[in-house]
Structure 1
Amino acid sequence: MNKNDTDPEEETLRFFATAPRPCSYLEGRDAISVFADPDATLSTALYDQLAKFGFRRSGSSLYVPACPGCSECIPVRVSVAGFVRSRNQQKIWNRNRDLTCNTLTPEFREQHFEMYERYLGNRHPHGGMDNPEPDDYMRFMTSDWCDTLFVEFCLGETPVALAVTDRLHNAASAVYTFYEPELGRRSLGTYAVLRQIELAKEMGCDWLYLGYWIRGSKKMQYKSRFRPMQAYYEGHWQPIENIPPKNPTPIRHVGAVS
């Protein structure tokens, strides 16, 4: 059996919660994450199953938010077959027609790393991720058990954006995107999602996971604009239109795997 196809039912999986820490998105709130056992045998098969419960990959870890008294981080996914660009998304697509898209193996490239440093310095200064080392960068973006692609966008010969994309069994997951901060008018974050939807379609995927839509965070509102979209809310996937603007009784459901 291929390492990436390990049967997730071969062992009982444990989960561990982190200590509270300040939330990166909602001021004045604490954040707690639940991680799949780091000593377990992780694989694409397990990742695929946990993604259905809202888990994400960060480096070699699989996690889900589990913050007490808060359920603002809602996992979302786009229907690849049903997706239709909005008028504004089509404008963004047309605006970036001069970019070339290359699908690369997940290897260290100096141009990408330098762009990543500029992106963090501009978008997340003093956020705990600035001044990374090359090894930190690669540990964050990749994993030895996961099928990952680097989707590179170039203007001429120069990379201007990179989207890290994981391939699951019938889905893809948009893990992280960074781009040249001075090209903000191009809306490269939105464009990268549009291209990843097309890539997922080419790979025969049903879904593109976009991570967490945070209702109280303006910077995350763009994620809800890719329709049709489903949200994992109160224990099951449902149309995002069903999600209330604010949850009066916060609920967090974390799926268990055995």
Structure 2
Amino acid sequence: MNLSGEGIDEHGAFYLSESLKKNSTLETLNLFYNKIGPAGTVPLLQALQINSTLKTLYLSRNELGTQGAQAISLFLPSNTTLTSLDISDNQIGDVGAKLVFESLKFNSTLSVLEIRDNDIGSSGAESILSLQFNSAVNLLDISSNQLGSAGSSFISQLVQSNSTLTSLRLDENNLGPDGVKAISLALQNNSTLISLHLSNNELGGLGLESIIKSLRYNTTLRLLFAGKNGIDDSHIKIISPSLINNFVTTHIYLDAGNNISPRYSKLLRQIISENQIVTQIEK
């Protein structure tokens, strides 16, 4: 059911929750871009304790704040039905992120968590380590936050220790070359991650080089997204040798926001074709 952008407030959420208690067929509920707020979140989640069929819930851009995140954190440990939750763009901050991540220690069904654009900094990033004790979440989208290089150290610990995550989205987090270096080292010891998103992180040549070099030791990563990172011809010259004899990664996306000339695009494509890697250089 798609109810996105319908102007649903806390009162509307209450009436919707009453309907959900009696529903036994609905599996997906999209409430993106409403005004549910923390007061409306509580009855909705209470209804989901009774409802046993809803698997996917979109609550992004609903003014949840820290209080809404707290309501979610109280709901997740006992819920055994929901498998996908999107709470992006809700200004939950570091405190809200900590509440949500710590609650996942006790949840064994949620496999997809989208928590983009929530003002999460390095302090909130530390709470991500709670996922070390979670065996269900396989896709984590924490893009468009402010993790920075300090937060990347916690991400790297998670990458090294978690054996469930297959897709990690870290786009637009100001990681920089130092931050991505820590993640690169962790990748060498990771055997589950298949897809890694690092676009718009100011990686530059050094950051990209560290990631590409780590792929020599990683046996599972198939998809690497690294657009909008200030990559130019000089960086392609540096990373090209590291791509040789890489037989695992099949797609490397270096498209939007990078400044790669036709000459070096051709060079990269030649290396890639010889090593059975598919890349996207231009749009």
What TM-score do you get using the length of structure 2 for normalisation?
Answer: 0.25
Larger RCO (CA within 8 A; separation ≥ 6): 1
TM-score by length of 1: 0.26
Is the radius of gyration larger for structure 1 or structure 2? 2
